[in-house]
Amino acid sequence: MSSDARTGPAPRPTGPLSTIDYNERIPNNVGLAGDRRLQRALEGWQPKFLDWWKQLGPALPTKDVYLRTAVAVGRDGWAHFAHVPMEEYRWGIFLAERDPDRVVNFGKHKGEPAWQEVPGEHRAALMRLIVIQGDTEPASVEQQRVLGNTAPSIYDLRNLFQVNVEEGRHLWAMVYLLHAYFGREGRDEAEQLLKRNSGDPDAPRILGAFNEATTDWLQFFMFTYFTDRDGKYQLGTLKESAFDPLARTCQFMLKEEAHHMFVGTTGVQRTVERTAAVMHEHGTADTLPYGAIPLAIIQKYLNFQFSVSMDLFGSEQSTNAGNYYSSGLKGRWMETRRKDDHVLLDATREMNHVADGEIRTRTVPMLSALNLDLRDEYMSDCANGVKRWNQALADAGLPDRLLLPHEGFNRKVGVYAGHRVSPEGRVLDDAAWAAGVDDWLPSDADRAAVASLMVPEYEYGKFAGWIAPPRTGINDQPVEFDYVHLAEEGLV
Protein backbone atom coordinates (compact mmCIF):
# COMPACT_ATOMS: atom_id res chain seq x y z
CA MET A 1 0.00 0.00 0.00
CA SER A 2 1.39 3.41 -0.89
CA SER A 3 1.90 6.03 1.78
CA ASP A 4 -0.75 8.21 0.13
CA ALA A 5 -3.42 5.52 0.31
CA ARG A 6 -2.79 5.23 4.03
CA THR A 7 -2.60 8.89 4.88
CA GLY A 8 -4.72 10.87 2.41
CA PRO A 9 -3.66 14.03 0.52
CA ALA A 10 -1.09 16.51 1.79
CA PRO A 11 -2.44 19.49 3.76
CA ARG A 12 -2.24 22.94 2.20
CA PRO A 13 0.65 25.03 3.55
CA THR A 14 -0.31 28.08 5.58
CA GLY A 15 1.35 31.29 6.69
CA PRO A 16 3.15 34.16 4.97
CA LEU A 17 6.85 34.18 4.14
CA SER A 18 9.04 35.74 6.79
CA THR A 19 12.54 36.96 6.01
CA ILE A 20 15.57 36.35 8.11
CA ASP A 21 17.45 39.07 9.96
CA TYR A 22 21.03 38.96 8.63
CA ASN A 23 22.12 42.17 10.36
CA GLU A 24 22.54 40.27 13.60
CA ARG A 25 25.65 38.36 14.63
CA ILE A 26 23.42 35.29 14.73
CA PRO A 27 21.01 35.38 11.76
CA ASN A 28 17.54 34.46 12.97
CA ASN A 29 13.82 34.82 12.47
CA VAL A 30 12.98 34.43 16.16
CA GLY A 31 13.38 38.08 17.17
CA LEU A 32 16.61 37.45 19.04
CA ALA A 33 17.39 41.19 19.23
CA GLY A 34 14.34 41.58 21.47
CA ASP A 35 15.65 39.18 24.10
CA ARG A 36 19.03 40.46 25.27
CA ARG A 37 19.65 37.71 27.81
CA LEU A 38 19.08 34.93 25.34
CA GLN A 39 21.05 36.78 22.67
CA ARG A 40 24.03 37.17 25.03
CA ALA A 41 23.88 33.50 26.03
CA LEU A 42 23.88 32.36 22.40
CA GLU A 43 26.62 34.83 21.49
CA GLY A 44 28.62 33.24 24.30
CA TRP A 45 28.11 29.80 22.77
CA GLN A 46 28.97 30.96 19.22
CA PRO A 47 32.81 31.10 19.64
CA LYS A 48 32.75 27.62 21.20
CA PHE A 49 30.86 26.35 18.18
CA LEU A 50 33.40 27.97 15.85
CA ASP A 51 36.28 26.41 17.81
CA TRP A 52 34.59 23.04 17.46
CA TRP A 53 34.11 23.62 13.70
CA LYS A 54 37.80 24.50 13.28
CA GLN A 55 38.95 21.46 15.25
CA LEU A 56 36.50 18.80 14.15
CA GLY A 57 34.84 20.21 11.02
CA PRO A 58 36.11 19.58 7.46
CA ALA A 59 39.89 18.99 7.46
CA LEU A 60 40.63 19.93 3.83
CA PRO A 61 41.72 23.60 3.63
CA THR A 62 39.52 25.62 1.28
CA LYS A 63 39.25 29.27 0.26
CA ASP A 64 35.53 29.20 -0.36
CA VAL A 65 32.67 26.92 -1.31
CA TYR A 66 29.50 27.44 -3.38
CA LEU A 67 27.00 27.02 -0.55
CA ARG A 68 23.33 27.61 -0.10
CA THR A 69 22.26 29.69 2.87
CA ALA A 70 18.70 29.99 4.12
CA VAL A 71 17.20 33.45 3.51
CA ALA A 72 13.52 32.78 4.20
CA VAL A 73 11.47 29.97 5.65
CA GLY A 74 8.58 29.92 3.18
CA ARG A 75 7.97 27.38 0.45
CA ASP A 76 9.68 29.15 -2.46
CA GLY A 77 12.98 30.88 -2.86
CA TRP A 78 14.13 30.06 0.65
CA ALA A 79 17.81 29.70 -0.15
CA HIS A 80 20.57 31.81 -1.64
CA PHE A 81 23.69 30.34 -3.34
CA ALA A 82 27.12 31.97 -3.31
CA HIS A 83 30.82 31.24 -2.80
CA VAL A 84 31.59 31.74 0.89
CA PRO A 85 34.55 30.83 3.11
CA MET A 86 33.14 27.97 5.19
CA GLU A 87 34.08 29.43 8.58
CA GLU A 88 32.09 32.55 7.60
CA TYR A 89 28.94 30.56 6.85
CA ARG A 90 25.94 32.28 8.46
CA TRP A 91 24.78 29.56 10.82
CA GLY A 92 21.53 30.79 12.23
CA ILE A 93 18.22 30.03 13.88
CA PHE A 94 15.27 29.57 11.57
CA LEU A 95 11.84 28.34 12.56
CA ALA A 96 8.99 27.67 10.15
CA GLU A 97 6.15 30.21 10.29
CA ARG A 98 3.97 30.10 13.36
CA ASP A 99 0.38 29.08 12.81
CA PRO A 100 -1.51 30.94 15.57
CA ASP A 101 -4.39 28.45 15.35
CA ARG A 102 -2.25 25.34 15.67
CA VAL A 103 -3.58 22.72 18.07
CA VAL A 104 -2.21 19.47 19.48
CA ASN A 105 -3.15 16.81 16.95
CA PHE A 106 -2.83 13.60 18.99
CA GLY A 107 -2.71 12.04 22.42
CA LYS A 108 -4.56 13.09 25.54
CA HIS A 109 -4.17 16.83 24.81
CA LYS A 110 -5.66 16.46 21.32
CA GLY A 111 -7.59 19.59 20.33
CA GLU A 112 -5.94 21.88 22.93
CA PRO A 113 -3.85 24.84 21.72
CA ALA A 114 -0.22 23.93 20.89
CA TRP A 115 2.24 24.81 23.68
CA GLN A 116 4.38 27.93 23.36
CA GLU A 117 6.18 27.13 26.62
CA VAL A 118 7.45 23.85 28.09
CA PRO A 119 4.98 22.33 30.58
CA GLY A 120 6.80 21.53 33.84
CA GLU A 121 5.73 17.88 33.84
CA HIS A 122 7.27 17.27 30.40
CA ARG A 123 10.39 19.35 30.82
CA ALA A 124 12.84 16.49 31.42
CA ALA A 125 11.48 14.30 28.61
CA LEU A 126 11.40 17.15 26.06
CA MET A 127 14.93 18.21 26.91
CA ARG A 128 16.11 14.62 26.48
CA LEU A 129 14.50 14.36 23.03
CA ILE A 130 16.13 17.64 21.96
CA VAL A 131 19.55 16.62 23.31
CA ILE A 132 19.46 13.26 21.50
CA GLN A 133 18.48 14.90 18.22
CA GLY A 134 21.07 17.65 18.75
CA ASP A 135 23.82 15.13 19.47
CA THR A 136 23.49 13.49 16.05
CA GLU A 137 23.98 16.72 14.08
CA PRO A 138 27.62 17.59 14.94
CA ALA A 139 28.42 13.85 15.20
CA SER A 140 28.04 13.36 11.45
CA VAL A 141 30.29 16.36 10.74
CA GLU A 142 32.96 14.74 12.91
CA GLN A 143 32.49 11.39 11.20
CA GLN A 144 32.96 12.98 7.77
CA ARG A 145 35.88 15.22 8.73
CA VAL A 146 38.60 13.76 6.48
CA LEU A 147 36.48 12.75 3.47
CA GLY A 148 37.43 15.90 1.57
CA ASN A 149 40.94 14.50 1.17
CA THR A 150 39.62 11.79 -1.16
CA ALA A 151 36.72 13.59 -2.89
CA PRO A 152 35.89 12.01 -6.28
CA SER A 153 35.18 15.47 -7.73
CA ILE A 154 34.81 19.14 -6.87
CA TYR A 155 31.05 18.71 -7.36
CA ASP A 156 30.94 15.96 -4.71
CA LEU A 157 33.26 17.92 -2.44
CA ARG A 158 30.83 20.83 -2.50
CA ASN A 159 27.91 18.54 -1.63
CA LEU A 160 29.84 17.10 1.32
CA PHE A 161 30.54 20.60 2.64
CA GLN A 162 26.91 21.66 2.12
CA VAL A 163 25.76 18.72 4.22
CA ASN A 164 28.39 19.55 6.86
CA VAL A 165 27.45 23.24 7.26
CA GLU A 166 23.76 22.34 7.44
CA GLU A 167 24.33 19.69 10.11
CA GLY A 168 26.16 22.45 11.97
CA ARG A 169 23.08 24.63 11.56
CA HIS A 170 20.87 21.82 12.86
CA LEU A 171 23.02 21.83 15.98
CA TRP A 172 22.27 25.56 16.26
CA ALA A 173 18.56 24.80 15.93
CA MET A 174 18.63 22.45 18.92
CA VAL A 175 20.95 24.69 20.96
CA TYR A 176 18.52 27.58 20.47
CA LEU A 177 15.71 25.50 22.00
CA LEU A 178 17.93 24.43 24.91
CA HIS A 179 18.98 28.02 25.63
CA ALA A 180 15.57 29.61 25.09
CA TYR A 181 13.37 27.12 26.96
CA PHE A 182 15.42 25.04 29.42
CA GLY A 183 17.35 27.57 31.51
CA ARG A 184 20.66 26.65 33.10
CA GLU A 185 20.23 22.94 32.51
CA GLY A 186 19.63 23.64 28.84
CA ARG A 187 22.78 25.78 28.62
CA ASP A 188 24.78 23.00 30.28
CA GLU A 189 23.44 20.48 27.77
CA ALA A 190 24.39 22.84 24.93
CA GLU A 191 27.98 22.82 26.19
CA GLN A 192 27.98 19.02 26.35
CA LEU A 193 26.89 18.82 22.71
CA LEU A 194 30.32 20.14 21.76
CA LYS A 195 32.21 18.06 24.36
CA ARG A 196 30.98 14.61 23.36
CA ASN A 197 32.69 13.57 20.12
CA SER A 198 32.11 10.79 17.60
CA GLY A 199 34.13 7.70 18.49
CA ASP A 200 35.68 9.32 21.61
CA PRO A 201 36.21 6.41 24.05
CA ASP A 202 35.66 8.64 27.10
CA ALA A 203 32.85 10.86 25.80
CA PRO A 204 31.22 9.25 22.75
CA ARG A 205 28.14 10.48 20.91
CA ILE A 206 24.88 9.12 22.35
CA LEU A 207 23.77 6.81 19.52
CA GLY A 208 25.80 3.91 18.13
CA ALA A 209 25.66 4.70 14.39
CA PHE A 210 27.13 8.12 15.13
CA ASN A 211 30.30 6.64 16.59
CA GLU A 212 31.12 4.54 13.50
CA ALA A 213 33.87 6.01 11.33
CA THR A 214 32.88 7.13 7.84
CA THR A 215 35.81 5.49 6.11
CA ASP A 216 35.22 6.33 2.48
CA TRP A 217 32.85 7.96 0.00
CA LEU A 218 30.74 4.87 -0.61
CA GLN A 219 30.02 4.79 3.09
CA PHE A 220 29.31 8.53 3.05
CA PHE A 221 26.71 8.03 0.33
CA MET A 222 25.18 5.08 2.21
CA PHE A 223 25.20 7.21 5.37
CA THR A 224 23.40 10.13 3.72
CA TYR A 225 20.95 7.70 2.14
CA PHE A 226 20.16 5.53 5.18
CA THR A 227 21.21 7.47 8.28
CA ASP A 228 20.18 10.98 7.23
CA ARG A 229 16.89 9.32 6.30
CA ASP A 230 16.56 8.10 9.88
CA GLY A 231 17.02 11.77 10.80
CA LYS A 232 14.23 12.71 8.42
CA TYR A 233 11.83 10.31 10.13
CA GLN A 234 12.83 11.38 13.65
CA LEU A 235 12.34 15.03 12.65
CA GLY A 236 9.00 14.05 11.13
CA THR A 237 7.76 12.88 14.56
CA LEU A 238 9.11 15.96 16.37
CA LYS A 239 7.53 18.23 13.75
CA GLU A 240 4.16 16.99 15.08
CA SER A 241 5.09 17.88 18.68
CA ALA A 242 2.64 19.82 20.84
CA PHE A 243 5.63 21.98 21.83
CA ASP A 244 5.28 24.46 18.98
CA PRO A 245 8.84 25.88 18.83
CA LEU A 246 10.21 22.33 18.48
CA ALA A 247 7.65 21.51 15.78
CA ARG A 248 8.50 24.65 13.81
CA THR A 249 12.26 24.10 14.13
CA CYS A 250 12.01 20.56 12.84
CA GLN A 251 9.74 21.57 9.99
CA PHE A 252 12.44 23.87 8.64
CA MET A 253 15.25 21.36 9.24
CA LEU A 254 13.37 18.85 7.08
CA LYS A 255 13.60 21.26 4.16
CA GLU A 256 17.41 21.23 4.37
CA GLU A 257 17.52 17.49 5.04
CA ALA A 258 16.05 16.69 1.61
CA HIS A 259 19.34 17.67 -0.05
CA HIS A 260 21.32 15.34 2.21
CA MET A 261 19.27 12.40 1.05
CA PHE A 262 19.58 13.55 -2.56
CA VAL A 263 23.36 13.34 -2.09
CA GLY A 264 22.98 9.75 -0.85
CA THR A 265 20.49 8.56 -3.47
CA THR A 266 22.39 9.98 -6.42
CA GLY A 267 25.81 9.14 -4.97
CA VAL A 268 25.00 5.44 -4.70
CA GLN A 269 23.25 5.56 -8.06
CA ARG A 270 26.30 7.05 -9.80
CA THR A 271 28.52 4.45 -8.13
CA VAL A 272 26.24 1.66 -9.36
CA GLU A 273 26.10 3.18 -12.86
CA ARG A 274 29.88 3.14 -13.14
CA THR A 275 30.11 -0.42 -11.82
CA ALA A 276 27.36 -1.55 -14.20
CA ALA A 277 29.15 0.03 -17.17
CA VAL A 278 32.39 -1.79 -16.30
CA MET A 279 30.56 -5.11 -15.72
CA HIS A 280 28.88 -4.73 -19.08
CA GLU A 281 32.02 -3.74 -20.93
CA HIS A 282 34.32 -6.41 -19.48
CA GLY A 283 31.75 -9.15 -18.85
CA THR A 284 32.86 -9.69 -15.26
CA ALA A 285 31.61 -9.02 -11.73
CA ASP A 286 35.21 -8.51 -10.62
CA THR A 287 35.35 -4.83 -11.48
CA LEU A 288 38.13 -3.89 -9.07
CA PRO A 289 40.99 -4.33 -11.60
CA TYR A 290 39.07 -1.89 -13.85
CA GLY A 291 38.75 0.70 -11.10
CA ALA A 292 35.08 0.26 -10.18
CA ILE A 293 33.64 -0.97 -6.87
CA PRO A 294 32.30 -4.54 -7.23
CA LEU A 295 28.53 -4.78 -6.85
CA ALA A 296 28.99 -7.39 -4.10
CA ILE A 297 30.86 -4.82 -2.00
CA ILE A 298 28.23 -2.16 -2.68
CA GLN A 299 25.62 -4.66 -1.40
CA LYS A 300 27.66 -5.27 1.78
CA TYR A 301 27.97 -1.54 2.48
CA LEU A 302 24.22 -1.24 1.94
CA ASN A 303 23.56 -4.13 4.36
CA PHE A 304 25.76 -2.55 7.02
CA GLN A 305 24.43 1.01 6.87
CA PHE A 306 20.81 -0.10 6.65
CA SER A 307 21.09 -2.37 9.70
CA VAL A 308 22.88 0.16 11.94
CA SER A 309 20.33 2.80 10.89
CA MET A 310 17.42 0.46 11.77
CA ASP A 311 18.90 0.22 15.27
CA LEU A 312 18.48 4.01 15.64
CA PHE A 313 14.71 3.54 15.95
CA GLY A 314 15.16 1.76 19.29
CA SER A 315 13.21 -1.24 20.56
CA GLU A 316 10.06 -2.12 18.63
CA GLN A 317 8.10 -1.96 21.87
CA SER A 318 8.75 1.03 24.09
CA THR A 319 6.80 2.43 27.02
CA ASN A 320 8.64 5.73 26.59
CA ALA A 321 7.54 6.06 22.97
CA GLY A 322 3.92 5.41 24.01
CA ASN A 323 4.16 7.99 26.78
CA TYR A 324 5.77 10.57 24.48
CA TYR A 325 2.85 10.06 22.13
CA SER A 326 0.05 10.17 24.69
CA SER A 327 1.47 13.29 26.31
CA GLY A 328 1.88 15.06 22.96
CA LEU A 329 5.69 15.30 22.84
CA LYS A 330 6.24 13.23 19.72
CA GLY A 331 3.71 12.24 17.06
CA ARG A 332 3.76 9.70 14.28
CA TRP A 333 5.09 10.16 10.77
CA MET A 334 2.40 12.14 8.86
CA GLU A 335 0.28 12.25 12.02
CA THR A 336 -2.37 14.63 10.72
CA ARG A 337 -2.83 12.56 7.56
CA ARG A 338 -3.45 9.28 9.39
CA LYS A 339 -6.98 8.00 9.19
CA ASP A 340 -7.57 6.96 12.81
CA ASP A 341 -8.50 8.51 16.18
CA HIS A 342 -4.95 9.85 16.94
CA VAL A 343 -5.27 8.57 20.50
CA LEU A 344 -4.69 4.85 19.83
CA LEU A 345 -5.85 3.56 23.21
CA ASP A 346 -7.69 0.60 21.66
CA ALA A 347 -5.54 0.06 18.55
CA THR A 348 -3.33 -3.00 18.02
CA ARG A 349 -0.90 -4.18 15.36
CA GLU A 350 1.20 -7.19 14.40
CA MET A 351 4.83 -7.37 15.44
CA ASN A 352 7.56 -9.82 14.42
CA HIS A 353 9.66 -11.62 17.00
CA VAL A 354 12.01 -14.59 17.08
CA ALA A 355 10.93 -17.79 18.83
CA ASP A 356 12.15 -21.39 18.51
CA GLY A 357 14.50 -20.50 15.68
CA GLU A 358 11.92 -18.80 13.49
CA ILE A 359 10.31 -15.44 12.95
CA ARG A 360 6.73 -15.28 14.21
CA THR A 361 4.21 -12.52 14.68
CA ARG A 362 2.11 -11.52 17.65
CA THR A 363 -0.48 -8.82 18.27
CA VAL A 364 0.61 -5.93 20.49
CA PRO A 365 -0.99 -2.64 21.61
CA MET A 366 -0.29 0.04 18.99
CA LEU A 367 0.73 2.56 21.66
CA SER A 368 3.51 0.24 22.78
CA ALA A 369 4.86 -0.20 19.24
CA LEU A 370 5.26 3.34 17.90
CA ASN A 371 9.00 2.93 17.32
CA LEU A 372 8.08 0.03 15.06
CA ASP A 373 5.43 2.12 13.31
CA LEU A 374 8.07 4.74 12.47
CA ARG A 375 10.65 2.15 11.47
CA ASP A 376 8.16 0.54 9.07
CA GLU A 377 7.57 3.90 7.38
CA TYR A 378 11.33 4.38 7.13
CA MET A 379 11.90 0.92 5.73
CA SER A 380 9.37 1.29 2.94
CA ASP A 381 10.97 4.64 2.04
CA CYS A 382 14.42 2.98 1.96
CA ALA A 383 13.15 0.49 -0.61
CA ASN A 384 12.51 3.31 -3.11
CA GLY A 385 16.19 4.11 -3.57
CA VAL A 386 17.09 0.46 -3.99
CA LYS A 387 14.49 0.28 -6.77
CA ARG A 388 16.12 3.26 -8.44
CA TRP A 389 19.61 1.77 -8.19
CA ASN A 390 18.32 -1.48 -9.64
CA GLN A 391 16.91 0.46 -12.58
CA ALA A 392 20.49 1.56 -13.32
CA LEU A 393 21.52 -2.12 -13.43
CA ALA A 394 18.55 -3.00 -15.65
CA ASP A 395 19.34 -0.08 -17.97
CA ALA A 396 22.87 -1.47 -18.39
CA GLY A 397 21.34 -4.81 -19.45
CA LEU A 398 22.51 -6.64 -16.33
CA PRO A 399 20.47 -9.29 -14.45
CA ASP A 400 22.12 -8.45 -11.08
CA ARG A 401 20.08 -6.60 -8.44
CA LEU A 402 20.68 -4.96 -5.06
CA LEU A 403 18.47 -6.01 -2.15
CA LEU A 404 17.33 -4.34 1.04
CA PRO A 405 18.16 -6.89 3.75
CA HIS A 406 15.54 -8.32 6.11
CA GLU A 407 14.66 -6.08 9.07
CA GLY A 408 16.23 -8.63 11.42
CA PHE A 409 19.62 -8.73 9.71
CA ASN A 410 22.64 -7.68 11.85
CA ARG A 411 20.55 -6.02 14.52
CA LYS A 412 21.82 -5.01 17.95
CA VAL A 413 18.62 -3.42 19.29
CA GLY A 414 15.10 -4.77 19.83
CA VAL A 415 13.53 -8.18 19.22
CA TYR A 416 16.27 -9.35 16.84
CA ALA A 417 19.18 -8.47 19.14
CA GLY A 418 21.05 -11.62 20.15
CA HIS A 419 19.69 -13.55 17.15
CA ARG A 420 21.42 -14.27 13.85
CA VAL A 421 19.25 -13.47 10.85
CA SER A 422 20.41 -13.74 7.23
CA PRO A 423 19.74 -10.91 4.74
CA GLU A 424 16.88 -13.05 3.35
CA GLY A 425 15.31 -13.37 6.82
CA ARG A 426 16.32 -16.91 7.84
CA VAL A 427 17.16 -17.40 11.53
CA LEU A 428 20.66 -18.93 11.69
CA ASP A 429 22.78 -20.68 14.27
CA ASP A 430 26.21 -19.24 15.08
CA ALA A 431 28.01 -21.57 12.67
CA ALA A 432 25.81 -20.62 9.70
CA TRP A 433 26.20 -16.93 10.54
CA ALA A 434 29.98 -17.26 10.77
CA ALA A 435 30.04 -19.04 7.42
CA GLY A 436 28.03 -16.30 5.70
CA VAL A 437 29.00 -13.07 7.39
CA ASP A 438 31.89 -12.24 5.05
CA ASP A 439 29.44 -12.39 2.14
CA TRP A 440 27.04 -10.02 3.88
CA LEU A 441 29.05 -7.38 5.72
CA PRO A 442 32.15 -5.48 4.54
CA SER A 443 35.35 -7.13 5.69
CA ASP A 444 38.59 -5.25 6.29
CA ALA A 445 39.70 -6.43 2.86
CA ASP A 446 36.53 -4.99 1.25
CA ARG A 447 37.06 -1.64 2.96
CA ALA A 448 40.71 -1.67 1.90
CA ALA A 449 39.66 -2.41 -1.70
CA VAL A 450 37.26 0.54 -1.69
CA ALA A 451 39.87 2.74 -0.02
CA SER A 452 42.36 1.89 -2.80
CA LEU A 453 40.00 3.55 -5.32
CA MET A 454 39.50 6.68 -3.23
CA VAL A 455 41.92 9.02 -4.96
CA PRO A 456 41.01 12.71 -4.97
CA GLU A 457 39.99 14.34 -8.25
CA TYR A 458 40.10 18.12 -7.84
CA GLU A 459 40.08 19.16 -11.51
CA TYR A 460 36.82 20.95 -12.36
CA GLY A 461 34.44 18.71 -14.32
CA LYS A 462 36.55 15.56 -13.82
CA PHE A 463 35.44 12.52 -11.80
CA ALA A 464 37.28 9.65 -10.12
CA GLY A 465 37.08 6.44 -12.12
CA TRP A 466 34.75 4.62 -9.71
CA ILE A 467 31.81 7.02 -10.05
CA ALA A 468 29.74 8.35 -12.97
CA PRO A 469 29.27 12.14 -13.31
CA PRO A 470 25.89 13.57 -12.26
CA ARG A 471 23.39 14.53 -14.99
CA THR A 472 23.17 18.15 -13.81
CA GLY A 473 25.03 20.53 -11.53
CA ILE A 474 23.88 22.39 -8.43
CA ASN A 475 21.45 25.32 -8.69
CA ASP A 476 21.49 25.19 -12.53
CA GLN A 477 25.26 25.59 -12.65
CA PRO A 478 27.18 23.31 -15.04
CA VAL A 479 28.73 20.10 -13.70
CA GLU A 480 32.22 21.54 -14.34
CA PHE A 481 31.48 24.73 -12.34
CA ASP A 482 34.15 25.87 -9.80
CA TYR A 483 32.06 24.79 -6.80
CA VAL A 484 35.05 24.79 -4.45
CA HIS A 485 38.25 26.84 -4.44
CA LEU A 486 40.90 24.89 -2.57
CA ALA A 487 43.30 26.79 -0.34
CA GLU A 488 46.32 25.58 -2.36
CA GLU A 489 45.18 27.45 -5.45
CA GLY A 490 46.23 30.74 -3.95
CA LEU A 491 49.74 29.45 -3.30
CA VAL A 492 50.47 28.12 -6.78
Q: Is 355 helix (H, G, I), strand (E, B) or coil?
A: strand
H/E stretch holding 449:
helix 444-453
- Choice between 162 and 307, CB closer to Fe ion: 162
State phi, psi for 470 to the nearest 5 degrees: -75, 165
Beta carbon of residue 140, minimum distance to Fe ion (angstroms, whole number): 7
Beta carbon of residue 53, minimum distance to Fe ion (angstroms, whole number): 15
Contact in structure between 95 and 30 (CB atoms under 8 Å):
yes
Alpha helices, DSSP H only, in 318-369?
319-326
Beta carbon of residue 228, minimum distance to Fe ion (angstroms, whole number): 4
DSSP string, 400-432: ----PPPTTTT--SSTTTT-EE-TTS-EE-HHH
**What is the distance, to the nearest Å, from the Cα of residue 324 to the centroid of all Cα atoms in its chain?**
22
Alpha helices, DSSP H only, in 283-318?
295-311
Those residues whose C-beta lies under 8 Å from the C-beta of residue 34, and which sit 6 or more positions away, are none
- Residues 90 and 420: their CA atoms lie apart, in Å, by 47
- Residues 302 and 277: their CA atoms lie apart, in Å, by 20
Alpha helices, DSSP H only, in 144-282?
154-181, 183-195, 217-222, 228-238, 244-282
Beta carbon of residue 175, minimum distance to Fe ion (angstroms, whole number): 13
- Choice between 167 and 244, CB closer to Fe ion: 167
Contact in structure between 41 and 178 (CB atoms under 8 Å):
no
Those residues whose C-beta lies under 8 Å from the C-beta of residue 302, and which sit 6 or more positions away, are 222, 226, 268, 386, 402, 404, 405
- Choice between 228 and 240, CB closer to Fe ion: 228
Helix-then-strand count for the chain, H and E: 13, 7
Which residues contact Fe ion (rule: CB under 5 A)?
137, 167, 170, 228, 257, 260
- Residues 237 and 289: their CA atoms lie apart, in Å, by 46
State phi, psi for 58 to the nearest 5 degrees: -50, 130
| Helices 123-143, 319-326: inter-axial angle, 10-degree rounding | 120
Pairing of strands 358-365, 427-428: unpaired
- Residues 209 and 310: their CA atoms lie apart, in Å, by 10
- Choice between 91 and 463, CB closer to Fe ion: 91
